[in-house]
Amino acid sequence: MISKFAVAVALAVVLGLPFLFRPERAAIPPGAETLVVITPHHEQIRAEFERAFSAWHEANHGSPVVIDWRQPGGTSEIRKQLRAQYAAAVETGRIAPDGACPPGTMSYDLLFGGGSYEHGQMKAGVTVTVDGERATVPISAPAGFSEAEMREWFPIGELGGEPLYDPEQHWIGVAVSSFGIVYNTDALETIGVDAPTSWDDLRDPAYQGWLAMADPRASGSVATAFQKILDGYGWEKGWATLRDLSANARYFSGSSRRPPLDVSAGEAAAGVAIDFYGRSQSDAILAPGQRPEDSRVQYVDPKGAVFFDPDPITLLRGAPNPELARRFIAFLISSEGQAVWQLPARGEAPGLGPLENELRRLPIRRVMYDEHFADFIDKVNPYEIAEPLPSRGWRSMIGPMMGAFGIDNHHEIEEAWRALHAVRASGNDALAAELEGLFYAMPTHVMPDGTELEFNEANYSTIRNEWRNAETAARAKIRYTMFFRRNYAEVVRRAGEVL
């Protein structure tokens, strides 16, 4: 029998390992101020902006800055954590029902990174009951910059029809992201397909088991990518496309960073990716002297669907150091801050840009493209190629629906996908059409009075509102999942009878 002492020692070793192998941080400079930032951004972004901001702040305000980075997960996980913390703060009276609270009430100064949707959820805030009254309190706080400053930074306040900042400054964009396809040319040759140029290309059954996907329930950026497929293609084709991508998926990662890595390693032929993850991975594997266009890993923005989303920063309510937080926002939007995203690493040379890590992100300020575009690593100007897409308001059901038809039923959808294409290949067009109807069918939603509504565009708003009730959502999730499972099984059964 293992003694309690031995268990305690083993546990201490396991818990201590992360600290033993954690990289040493540079000594805190004398007189440094501290900023606490919660973020989904990776280490290279964190390192470059902490270094650049500290130097900028010392030059402009007389003291260096240390950033205490907190990274509990992707943006969706961060949103859940912040909502829980702020709801508790309102319920216990630390934040008043009208949102009033002194600086230092909460732990973090800023939320840095993630798409505009997630930052919009910070403004939507939390709704709790206090003394019998319902109160809605934003998690974010207005940044408070003057109209003149905002006009200077954003003479045009939108890109492809999307706002670059919240009109009340609850969030302000500091970079822009697009969403597209990362692919491995060697792996594409293995499965016998040409380089993809559109989302439709990834629907080819040749990709089955070779497509790297991330879970939209865990990654806000990936949810945005899927949202834009729906926005661009419309209801019928949009959901069918997401169904086909799910059927081809090798897996659904909890992180949007994994697909480009697995594509690079040849574990997948292609994947859905944020632009800078795809470009950075392509760059990371270049041999000395090799040109980017010769890399086996490439990234492409899908033709006809080039959408850019602001990557914002949000000042959080009750921040410990709101004035320092505002300075960080101002730095990010300054020419010095914007240059860190896209200029080449300069080493120890003076000037603009990152020191060691080339971040391959696109700045948000248009003036950067006018004044520094020739020096950019990526010759991509979003202000010239962004394509406005209608915002159809279907995002909230992407996670639940893809969870039901593709992620939680992944084995079943794979089998049905193979069976469907086997019938198509057999030439039995009549049966193929029937099986397509089963494969792409949507479930019905049972209302509280027993009425059944088909999950379609006309009924979407009504059904979405029902999902806001936690108990209703839990029952619907089970019902939807079982609906798809039965249909996939029927596709397999009926195909098996004739093949």
Taken in order 262, 116, 360, 182, the sign of the CA dihedral is: positive
Same domain, 181 and 271: yes
Same domain, 119 and 57: yes
Q: Where is pLDDT greater, at 384 or 455?
A: 455
Radius of gyration of the chain from its Cα atoms, rounded to whole angstroms: 25
146: Cα separation from own chain's centroid: 30
Q: Where is pLDDT greater, at 430 or 380?
A: 430
Same domain, 302 and 317: no
Query: Which of 275, 292, 307 finishes a domain?
Result: 307
User: How far is 471 from 159, CA to CA, in rounded Å?
Assistant: 39
Give pTM, 2 decimals: 0.78
Pair of tokens at residue 326: 């505002």
386 neighbors 156 (Cβ within 8 angstroms): no
Mean pLDDT across 423-441 = 96
Residue 470, pLDDT score: 87
Q: Where is pLDDT greater, at 63 or 380?
A: 63
Same domain, 116 and 161: yes
Mean pLDDT across 385-393 = 81
What CATH number does residue 374 fall under? 3.40.190.10
Instruction: Give the Cβ contact number of residue 224 at 10 Å.
Output: 25
Residue 268 lies in a domain: yes
Instruction: Give the Cβ contact number of residue 345 at 10 Å.
Output: 15
Same domain, 209 and 318: no
Same domain, 245 and 341: no
Distances 481 to 173, 257, 401, 444, 445 between C-alpha atoms, Å: 37, 27, 9, 11, 12
Residue 23 lies in a domain: no
Percentage of the chain with pLDDT > 90?
Answer: 72
Residue 25, pLDDT score: 53
Residue 165, pLDDT score: 97
Residue 2 lies in a domain: no
What number of CA atoms fall less than 13 Å from residue 132's CA on the CB side?
Answer: 0
Query: Which of 321, 351, 385 finishes a domain?
Result: 385
Residue 109, pLDDT score: 98
List of E strands, 185-218: 211-214
444 neighbors 452 (Cβ within 8 angstroms): yes
Split into its structural domains, the chain has a count of 3
Residue 392 lies in a domain: no
Same domain, 282 and 324: no
pLDDT digits (tens, 9 = 90+) for 220-271: 888 888 998 998 899 999 999 999 999 999 999 988 889 999 999 999 999 9
How would residue 26 be classed by pLDDT, with cut points 50, 70 and 90? low
pLDDT digits (tens, 9 = 90+) for 90-118: 999 999 999 999 999 999 999 999 889 89
All residues at 6 or more sequence positions from 298 whose CB lies less than 8 Å from its CB, including other chains = 182, 183, 185, 195, 278, 282
Same domain, 94 and 68: yes
Helix 235-248 / helix 220-233 crossing angle, nearest 10 deg:
130
Average predicted confidence (pLDDT) for the chain? 90
User: How far is 254 from 251, CA to CA, in rounded Å?
Assistant: 10
Residue 3 lies in a domain: no
Same domain, 182 and 163: no
Residue 11, pLDDT score: 34
Residue 388, pLDDT score: 78
Instruction: Give the Cβ contact number of residue 206 at 10 Å.
Output: 15
pLDDT digits (tens, 9 = 90+) for 322-370: 999 999 999 999 999 999 999 999 888 888 999 999 898 999 999 999 9
Residue 298, pLDDT score: 93
- Provide the residue range defining the domain that includes 282: 176-307
| 248-275 burial: b if 16+ Cβ within 10 Å, else e | bbbbbbbbbbbbbbbbbeebbbbbbbbb
Range of lowest pLDDT (381-390, 413-422, 429-438) = 381-390
Same domain, 149 and 273: no
270 neighbors 197 (Cβ within 8 angstroms): no
User: How far is 248 from 184, CA to CA, in rounded Å?
Assistant: 16
Query: Which of 307, 336, 356 finishes a domain?
Result: 307
- Give a three-class secondary structure readout of 319-376: CCCHHHHHHHHHHHHCHHHHHHHHCCCCCCCCCCCCCCCCCCCEECCHHHHHHCHHHC
Rounded to 5 degrees, φ, ψ at 468 are: -70, -20
Residue 468 lies in a domain: yes
User: How far is 437 from 433, CA to CA, in rounded Å?
Assistant: 6
pLDDT digits (tens, 9 = 90+) for 137-158: 999 999 999 999 999 999 989 9
pLDDT digits (tens, 9 = 90+) for 263-309: 999 999 999 998 888 888 887 887 887 877 788 999 998 877 778 88
Residue 394 lies in a domain: no
All residues at 6 or more sequence positions from 138 whose CB lies less than 8 Å from its CB, including other chains = 99, 122, 123, 124, 125, 170, 317
Residue 277, pLDDT score: 84
Rounded to 5 degrees, φ, ψ at 171 are: -150, 150
452-454/249-253 β-pairing: unpaired
Residue 397 lies in a domain: no
Percentage of the chain with pLDDT > 70?
Answer: 94
437 neighbors 273 (Cβ within 8 angstroms): no
Residue 254, pLDDT score: 86
Q: Where is pLDDT greater, at 218 or 263?
A: 263
Say which residue the tokens 């937080």 belong to: 325
Instruction: Give the Cβ contact number of residue 354 at 10 Å.
Output: 23
Same domain, 300 and 315: no
Residue 424, pLDDT score: 96
Beta bridge partners of 310: 176
Same domain, 93 and 76: yes
Whether 2 has a pLDDT exceeding 50, the answer reads no
